[in-house]
Amino acid sequence: MKYSVPIKANAHVNQAKTTKKDDGMRQQSENNPYNQLHVDSLPSNSLLQLQRTIGNQAVEQLFRAQQVMPPSPSTETEVAQRTPIFHKPTAETALTSDVEKELWDIAQKIDDEVNSAYTRFMTGDYNGASQAQIDLYTLRKYEFDNNSKSMHPSTAAGYVIEGMVNSVINGMDGVEIQVTNLLDGTRPDVLITLPSGEMGLLDITASKSAGHILGKKGNWLNHQNIPLVIESVYPSIDFRNMTSQTLSTEDLARIQERMKHDAEMKILMEEQRQAHLQESYQQRQNVIYEKLMELKAAYDQNNDRDVLPYRINSRSQENFRKIGLDVSIDSQRNHWEITRIDYSVWNEQNNESFFSIYMGLRNFLNTKLEMMGFEPSLTAKRSMDSSSSEERETKRRRK
């Protein structure tokens, strides 16, 4: 499946898809219509809606452009972020039928448990999570605090929070967790089924990943017998502001030993690895997409299209495909066709990360912008990838 991106002539707006990492994107030009929005005057619920509409990256751009600092996690925004996101129907106020309301009554109880689990997690109370979930998070947090080039603890933290919730809701009437045989190629966190047969889907996720279910397989929103689809969202965690994780040599050895033999631990580690690969793919895809949008804006602002013409050849097209984009460009004809390739489709055709190709394309596009007299955005000045961990992952997948 591919996601087509409409490109209009003389459009000076950087478009981006929400990702799971903060990308630190800078606004491309003063012509961006979102500059007219004053984010410091938005109530928290409007800010959340804005994030859902234009993406976390674009909202961050607004904050920076208007020199407004985002509210800290301790403010009312934290409460707003923990409000469930309705995808079907589009808002709680749009619940009209008795079936929808009955499904929401159950989903609301589950959402309350998500809020409770998040609150307890932040105090260091992991009661309800499995030992494997706790061990994996403890190890990742320990590695993070000691600057180890390992996987970020955010995914492992999500496993703990989800495990805490599941320990409470598992066994509730009409509630099933981790259902694998409902939708093709995807696994909803929670399935709610009424006696009449109508269903509701609930996904538990961090606020930074809100909306990610819309890109999953299974067409979550297009099933007549599933009238309710929501995300129960907890605030993304800043692990730098948490108490450092300490482990004795003996405890560290015990966890590492369990990693070798514990079945659940192995499953969690593989899931985390896959999540890491997908996240890296989407980050790189977004960076190159942003570079192409900046380049298009540069050409749109240059009346002479014959200056430094840019046309994609077949070899370049193949390189763009390797990092997740179908691209056809002829600047002299003002032809810009850019399509995102879904990770699931890309992953079936590739078995390496193509990190060097990504870096080559990014550097080439930055150079192209500079030659046209445009300063590349902040994304160009820092890599969102850990080259050492990516190189290790690439070597591992080649074996």
Give the pLDDT confidence of 15-37 residue by residue, as tens digits.
Answer: 333 333 333 333 333 333 333 33
Which of 328, 317, 337, 288 shows the shortest CA–CA distance to 5? 337
pLDDT at 202: 95
What average pLDDT is seen over the chain?
75
Phi-psi category of 190—alpha, beta or left, where left has phi over 0 and alpha has psi -120 to 50?
A: beta
Q: Are 252 and 141 contacting, i.e. CB atoms less than 8 angstroms apart?
A: no
85 beta partners: 231
Tokens of 13: 């707006």
Task: Report, in this order, helix, strand and coil percent for the chain, each rounded to 5.
Answer: 50, 10, 35
Tokens of 198: 């109508």
pLDDT at 351: 64
| Confidence band for 148, pLDDT divided at 50, 70 and 90 | confident
**Averaged over 243-255, what is the pLDDT?**
90
Give the position of tokens 């607004």.
62
Q: Is 105's pLDDT higher than 90?
A: yes
DSSP code at position 245: P
> From CA 102, how far away is CA 121, in angstroms rounded?
29
> From CA 72, how far away is CA 319, in angstroms rounded?
40
DSSP code at position 332: G
Which of 344, 341, 51 shows the shortest CA–CA distance to 209? 51
Higher pLDDT, 192 or 265: 192
4 beta partners: 339
Higher pLDDT, 283 or 381: 283
Tokens of 72: 């800290």
Q: Return the exposure string of 196-213: e unless at least 16 CB atoms fall within 10 Å of the residue's CB, then b.
A: eebbbbbbbbbbbbbbbb
Residue 204 φ/ψ, nearest 5 degrees? -100, 125
Neighbours of 256 (CB within 10 A): 11
Q: Is 196's pLDDT higher than 70?
A: yes
51 beta partners: none
Neighbours of 358 (CB within 10 A): 24
> From CA 30, how far away is CA 124, in angstroms rounded?
45
Give the pLDDT confidence of 270-284 residue by residue, as tens digits.
Answer: 888 888 888 888 888
Give the pLDDT confidence of 363-380 residue by residue, as tens digits.
Answer: 888 888 888 777 766 544
Higher pLDDT, 278 or 241: 241
Q: Is 120's pLDDT higher than 90?
A: yes
Please give the full DSSP string across 106-148, using - where no structure is assigned: HHHHHHHHHHHHHHHHHTT--BTB-HHHHHHHHHHHHHHHTT-
pLDDT at 305: 57
**Averaged over 231-257, what is the pLDDT?**
91
Higher pLDDT, 310 or 158: 158
Q: Is 318's pLDDT higher than 80?
A: yes
pLDDT at 9: 32
Q: Return the exposure string of 115-139: e unless at least 16 CB atoms fall within 10 Å of the residue's CB, then b.
A: bebbebbeeeebebbbebbbbbbbb
